[in-house]
Structures are given as C-alpha cells and as structure tokens.
Structure 1
Amino acid sequence: MPSLTRKMKRPVAGFRAAAAISAAVALALPLTGCASMDTTAPSAARAHAGAAGQAEFGAVDCRKAKCIALTFDAGPSEHSARLLDILKEKKVKATFFLLGKRHIEKYPELVRRMADEGHEVASHTWDHKILTRIPPAEIREELRRPDDEIERLTGHRPTLMRPPQGRTDDTVRKIAREEGLAEILWSVTAKDYLTDDPDLIRERVLQQSSRDGIILLHDLYPGTVPAVPGIIDALKERGYVFVTVPQLLAPGRAEPGTVYRP
C-alpha cells in the first residue's frame, strides 16, 4: 500500500495523488522489500505443523480445499459497514488490518462488529509510519497502540500485523516477535488506491488469484467495496473457499516474528 502517513485526515482524493507517485515502488515491495528476509508460505506453515502432529484447523482444511484469503487494509472507514453487510450476505470471513489513528479511534463500533461477526481483526500500525524508517522505540509504539485499542474493544489481542507498504527488516521482525506478532504480506494487489472503477478492481484480483493467495484490498476507497461481491462470486465459481489468514495457515499457527507471504 502506498504511504498514507499524515494524510489520512484529508479526503481520499487528497492523498491519492501521493499514492500514485509511490505506486511503482510499493508494487515491487512484495518481491523486493523483504529480499533479505526469510518468508514462509502458507503451505509451508501447514506442512510444518502437520509434521509436528498438530491437528487443529477449524471448519476448513486448506491442505485439501482450494483456499484464498481476502484481506482489507487501512480501515475502518465510512465504507466498512457496507462491506461487512456484503461479507455477511456472502458468508465470507475476511482479515482486517486496521489503522489506529483516525480509524479505530473514529469507528470503534465497527471494530467490535468485525470481531463479533467472526472476522480476524489485526493491525496495520497506529499511524501508517514506514517501520523501516523509524527508531525501535517508535516501531514498538506503532505496533503496540493499535493492539491495545483492539484488545480493549474486542477482548482479543491481535497476533497478526501488516507493515505499511510491506516494508520490514530484521529490526521490525525482532520487535514484532517481542510483541507477539507475525507479519502478513500478500500475493494479489488490485491497485485500488489508483482507481475507483469496481470492474477494473475485480478484474485485477481475478487475474492474479491462485490457491493459497492473500488478496490485498482497502476498504477506505470508494471503488473497492462495490467490487467485492463480484470478486467473491467469481472466485467461488472457480472453486475457491474464502478463509481468514489464520485458517489459511492451519493446522499451523502464525509464529511471532515470522513473515508470511504466498
């Protein structure tokens, strides 16, 4: 995701120009931003857990099913209630990586609703600062503050986080481990920060989707939520089962300090 740091209080159109400038860099990050880091694929997490004799994986076994995870960054927003209505109607569970400042703060009732309706609630940091550019104490604050708020609102402390722009390094990973957090990257991006066209967003997701994929969308942009019903219907027709990120890894569990990427 392009940097939204210190731009969230402007209208969406105001920070979209900045997003376009950094888009080329941001899109390369899943391939290059963690080049020096070891990452773990969902299939590897499942295989390792199976070898260790663990057996808990909930209602869906992604060792057999054709699973894919739908994830949303940078909410809650004014569009999130409609998104939750759609997910409920379609019987799909998603993973939400929430921002604290101006988001969790502004829509606490939506954070509670996400948890109450069975979605995985996770962190996208407090203020979307690029973690690799700030000192360790500030990294810890960016990770701890949203987790404290989510735990206060839902009774459950997050175990997952998504670093802004996918940028991470050894220092970020060490602090994430100490805070009990695994880092979750992605394999599908619709560039929904660059377009309000739901049909284009839908087509981009469908072109990139594959088994064990993690789809990155943003529920704060006006074109994204209208694209979601078509994405869900088309992928279901292709035989996909929608799961949360923890379900995708099961029977393995997200290990703090580990970076997961399909």
Structure 2
Amino acid sequence: MFRTTSGRRRGPALALVAAAALVATLAGCSTDAVTPGEARGKAEPANGSAAQAKGGAAAPAVDCAKAKCIALTFDAGPGKDTPHLLDVLKEKKVPATFFLLGSKHVDRYPQVVKRISDEGHEVANHTWSHEILTDLDAKEVREELSRTQDAIAKITGRKPTLMRPPQGRTDDTVSDVSRELGLAQVLWSITAKDYSTEDTALIQKRVLEQAHGDGIILLHDIYKGTVPAVPGIIDELKRQGYTFVTVPQLLAPGKAEPGVVYRPEKKGD
C-alpha cells in the first residue's frame, strides 16, 4: 500500500489511477528535459564502438544513433509476477530497466532484486513509499530516495544511478536532491496506463500504437494484465525492427547526469 502525504493509506491501483489525468502532461511537457538523442550528442565514443550493456548476456552491444532503439521499463515492483517476467525477458533476450519501490517490494522480494541485477537488467529507484516528491521538503525527498538506494545496494552491491519520480512529478527541490544522491531522473514517452485496466490485449495495443524510436515504455509488473502482455509487445516490436535496450544504453555514449531529467519526445511531437 502507498501512503499519501496526509498519512492515509491507499492501494497502488488507486494511487496510480488518481494520476491518470496528469501522466500524459507531466511526461510530455517538461521544457527542461533532455532527449536520448541530445544525451548521445553531448558525448563521443572513446573508440567509435557501440555502447555495451551492463551484464552483456541480456543485451548485446548496440549503437542507438543508428539502430531503432526502444527502452522497456517497469515501475513499482518487484512483485509476485516479476519472476515470470524475468523468465520472458531471458527467453527473448531483452534487457529492461526496473524502477523499484522500496517498501513492501525491495524489502519483500530481495532475491528477485538480486536476480534482476544478476541477469543484466538495470536496477533503478522509484522511491521508498511512492510519495509524490513535489509535495515533500528536501529532507523528506532525500529520505524517500536514499532509503531505497541503501536497500538496493545492500542486495546488489551497487547503488542505482537512475530514478523515476512517482507520477513523473519533479521540481527544483527534487532535482537538487537527486543530484546530491547521484541520481538522474527518467520519465517516459509511451504508457499503456496499465494501472487502469487488466485487459492484456488493450495494454499491448496501447504500447504498439505509441511506439517510436528512442522511446521509453512505462509498464508496471505489479498489475494482473501487464506481464501477460509483454511477450506480444516484444515480438511485434522486434518484427517492426526495434532493438530493446536499457535506459543507459539508450543514452550511450552519453551518460545520465545526476539531477537531469531525461524524457523522449512522444510520437507525433
């Protein structure tokens, strides 16, 4: 359960459904956001070679300046269905980025967190209790992020370098604290709004309709309809010529800079 700033508790579905009207705006209108292409343009490869994914086995080397790349990301897990999702990703040789929630997720499924890391996926931070960070002061934001940083590092031996603010809400305070903690902020450009439906076919349809090169897909591995939609999404996007990458790969040879907000342009922008 997620806690609101008023101290009341509500389920994850309610917390995210309440944000549905805001998501498209918040993910699509950040004037200070950096696109993947802009991140790549700020750096040159040291030897002209393509970027190498962490772990190697889950994702081969890829140059997203040339390939039609897309990043598959999952928020608010791990959950009971995450092991099956990892089986699917392993079978299809697809890397993903997992923005993990601390309370009742990282602390409940430490073995799954370790598996995510061990299998070459990018482990990232989605706060401790899904508080809306823009409603908090700097000390509270720091607590939400650093607590999850420490919990993940205890399991994987490495603190994340990426975070995703709940509902995509960020401001100067959130950016300052993120910079202090070494965290870049990653938003998205493709969402199935899977918090509002268990219809697997609809989730798949929404992702495929919005898919674009340099896109970042937002899904949640905690909802009933989502994990069953992933194989079809992967198969169809591969058929269309997409290469799946982690968020760091999408930005390479650029690197995610702490405090900076990264968001692709949406399809049609």
- The two structures have a TM-score, normalised by structure 2, of 0.89
Select between 96-105 and 23-32 the one with higher mean Cα deviation.
23-32
Q: Which moved more, 1:56-65 or 1:102-111?
A: 56-65
| C-alpha deviation, 1:63, in angstroms | 1.0
Find the residue that maps to 1:215 and give its secondary structure: strand
Alignment of 1:118-197 (within 5 A): 118-197=120-199
Confirm or deny: 8 A CA contact 2:137 2:173 kept in the other structure: no
Residue 20 of structure 1 and its aligned partner are, at CA, apart by 3.2
Match of residue 25, structure 1, among 22, 46, 69: 22
Query: Pairwise mapping of residues 1-262 of structure 1 onto structure 2 (< 5 A)?
Result: 5-6=2-3, 15-32=12-29, 34-35=30-31, 38-50=32-44, 57-58=51-52, 59-262=61-264
Question: Which residue identity lines up with residue 258 of structure 1 in the other structure?
Answer: V
Q: Which amino acid aligns with 1:5?
A: F
Pairwise CA distance, 1:55: 5.8
* SS of equivalent to 1:74: strand
Please tell me whether the aligned partners of residues 54 and 251 of structure 1 are also in contact (alpha carbons under 8 angstroms): no
The answer to whether the 8 Å contact 1:55/1:251 transfers is: no
1:42–1:146 distance in 2 versus 1, CA, 3 Å: same
After superposition, the Cα gap between the structure-2 partners of 1:260 and 1:15, relative to the gap in structure 1 and judged at 3 Å, is closer
Q: Deviations over 1:189-217 (max 9, x none)?
A: 00100100111000000000100000000
What secondary structure, in the 3-state scheme, does the structure 1 residue paired with 2:17 have? helix
> What is the root-mean-square deviation of aligned Cα atoms in Å?
1.8
2-side partners of 1:19 and 1:119: how far apart? 24
> Runs of 5+ in structure 2 lacking a partner?
5-9, 53-60, 265-269
The one-letter code matched in structure 2 to 1:68 is I
C-alpha displacement of 1:16:
2.9
Aligned-partner residue type, residue 259 of structure 1: V
On the 8 A contact 1:54/1:252 being kept in 2, the answer is: no
Q: Verify the 8 A CA contact 1:98 1:121 in the aligned structure 2.
A: yes
1:120 to 1:202, Cα distance in 2 relative to 1, 3 A: same
Letter in 2 for 1:191: K
Q: Distance in 1 between matches of 2:17 and 2:98?
A: 23
Distance 2:243 2:28 in 1: 26
- Structure 1: where are the runs of 5+ without partners? none
Cα shift readout 1:26-73 (whole Å, capped 9, x = no counterpart):
3321124x35xx111001111110299886611111111110000000
Structure 1 position 18, deviation (Å): 4.9
| Cα gap change, 1:211 to 1:153, in 2 (>3 Å) | same
SS at match of 1:140: helix
Deviations 1:118-139 (CA, angstroms, capped at 9, x unpaired):
0000000000001100111000
Query: Taking every aligned residue pair, what percent have the same amino acid on both sides?
Result: 61
- What is the CA distance between 1:147 and its match in structure 2? 0.7
Which is helix-richer, 1 or 2? 1
SS of 1:24 mapped into structure 2:
helix
Q: What is the aligned residue count? A: 251
In structure 2, give the amino acid aligned to 1:57. Answer: A
